[in-house]
Amino acid sequence: MRENTIRNIFRVGLVLKAVHSVSELLGGVALYVASNEAIIHVTRLITSSELLEDPNDLVANFLLHAAQSLSLDQKSAAALYLLSHGGIKLFLVVMVLRERPWAYPVFIAALALLITYQSYRLALGFSPWLAALTLFDLVILWLTWHEYRLHFSAQHVT
């Protein structure tokens, strides 16, 4: 019963990682095809009510400034990052869901690298969103290791 609950949590976590990966892929495509003018327009729409309420809002001003100063190279690099990161992560999640034994250690290594990078970013400046994402990734890392250990042990016992 306990292992079934852990396995179900693991699968739900992987599906959430897959959804996040698809959103990264969609964001990468949108960023790649969107013009700078469109990005600035959308950013103004998103930040306008906040800036009307507080013209000195740090986050809204940061987003607006970032959109206005976005170069073609930065946009291309961000799109490439989102596309590659989302694509690799989605591929690994699908392979783990298909229970490919090689995918577990590769996914664990990829998550460990991602968690290390996210921890570095958190050390530079705290973000509740990034902290929550890092905690989620730590849980998925442990669940993946746990599932792999069970899968690997079961193959050697039979």
Q: pLDDT for 87-96, tens place per residue?
A: 999 999 999 9
Confidence of residue 76 (pLDDT cuts 50, 70, 90): very high
Q: pLDDT for 81-139, tens place per residue?
A: 999 999 999 999 999 999 999 999 999 999 999 999 999 999 999 989 899 999 999 99
Burial of 89 (C-beta count, 10 Å sphere; 0-12/13-18/19+): buried
Q: Is the pTM of this model over 0.85?
A: no
Nearest to 110 by CA among 80, 65, 140, 149: 140
Would you state the pLDDT for residue 155? 63
Please say if the pLDDT value at position 64 is more than 50: yes
